[in-house]
Structure 1
Amino acid sequence: MIYFAYGSNMCTARLARRVPSVRPLGAATLAGHRLAWHLIGADDSGKCNIVATEAPDAIVHGVAFELDAERLEALHAAEGPAYDFLELPIEHAGDTLTAAVYRGRAEWLDDTRVPFDWYRDFVLDGARAHGLPAAWIERLNAVATQVDADSQRARANREILNETPANVTAG
């Protein structure tokens, strides 16, 4: 199964903690959507979401991964009830592919939410590691963040950025 990540799951080490095996395929795009940081996370901070829009130039940059469709329980549990799991067309390496995508449910959206700095860093790490466009990376880097008052949670999440997971296969 092809999975399109646009938020913290673009960070391969973070995604690898959530699924039994992962194979990064590389940069991909989702047309007809915009990126927002307004999904209410379990920690009450803002998380990434894609929002459908009629804007003709709307596009979300992300990463295509190949995952084992039969073993997604941990990923579904990590994403939680705030997201619907659906299939949408993405562009990858000049081809249109059908990809599984998480999109936030309306009742879990709040435009006043702000992401923690460590969460934004997952998104940035994934964008950089998979070669997303420099202008997109600048846009991600410009997102306002907040410091997580739970320093233990922040430290534990930051440690993931330095991991080299064993369950990642070459793309």
Structure 2
Amino acid sequence: MSDMFYAAYGSNLHPHRLCTRVETARLVGTGLVDGMGVRFHKRGLDGSAKCSLIEVAEHTHVAVYAIDTDDQPVLDLIEGLGRGYDRAVVEVSGFGPCWTYIASSEAVDDALVPHHWYKRLVLLGCEYHSFPADYIEAIRSIPSSDDPLVERRTLNHELITQLEQAMPAGDAP
């Protein structure tokens, strides 16, 4: 067993979220991916937008996790590898090469918006890591929509409550 670095930039930013999904995940720090910007345009299985990275003259804040290589297939399954996401390697300041997931071209739809709960998961991760206010505000300004599936919406609101309770002291919204 050995560890590899995973760069999270979307709904996996918050350590409580990722560490409940992948047991061996350990937060090791945060960094920047230069030359890439985060976009909510990957078509999710629920028909709404999920995050991806695109090559642009921007930078993206990420949380870097060490994950046991044996658990990579677990995250591949959760993230939908081969069902809209491809594995990629990005250069993260202070860490070097890290793997992440980027939307495959056929899964990109710029007309989509995220559900409110999904955008909130991303924002909670950004807030947890104290990313810059302008970065958080840019994500906050992204339009979102209500999830029409009540059961999924309720389940994710329960997760949001857990993440809010897991925020560092003084940082809870």
The verdict on a shared fold, with TM-score over 0.5 as the criterion, is yes
Instruction: Show the counterpart of 1:97.
Output: 96
What letter matches 1:74 in structure 2? V
* 1:19 maps to 2:22: yes
Instruction: Show the counterpart of 1:151.
Output: 150
C-alpha distance in 2 between matches for 1:3 and 1:100? 5
Identity of aligned residues (%): 30
* 1:82 maps to 2:84: yes
C-alpha distance in 2 between matches for 1:107 and 1:82? 7
How far is the alpha carbon of 1:98 from its aligned partner?
Answer: 1.1
How far is the alpha carbon of 1:45 from its aligned partner?
Answer: 0.1
Q: Is the 8 A contact 1:88 1:100 kept in 2?
A: yes
Q: What CA deviation, in whole Å up to 9, does each residue of 1:41-92 have, x standing for no partner? A: 0100000000013x3xx1111211111121122211111121111212111x
Identify the match of residue 44 of structure 1 among 27, 32, 47: 47
* 1:62 maps to 2:62: yes
C-alpha distance in 1 between matches for 2:92 and 2:96? 5
* 1:138 maps to 2:137: yes
Residue 46 to residue 140, structure 1, CA distance change in 2 (3 Å): same
Aligned length in residues:
158
Where structure 1 has 5 or more consecutive residues not aligned to the other structure, the ranges are 165-171
C-alpha distance in 1 between matches for 2:134 and 2:66? 26
Q: What CA deviation, in whole Å up to 9, does each residue of 1:130-162 have, x standing for no partner? A: 111111111111110000011110111121233
For the aligned residues, what is the CA RMSD?
1.4
**Normalised by the size of structure 1, how large is the TM-score?**
0.87
User: Secondary structure of the residue that 1:132 maps to in structure 2?
Assistant: coil
C-alpha distance in 2 between matches for 1:37 and 1:70? 29
* 1:4 maps to 2:3: no
C-alpha distance in 1 between matches for 2:79 and 2:108? 14
Runs of 4+ in 1 over 3 A off after TM superposition: none
What letter matches 1:72 in structure 2? Q
C-alpha distance in 1 between matches for 2:25 and 2:16? 10
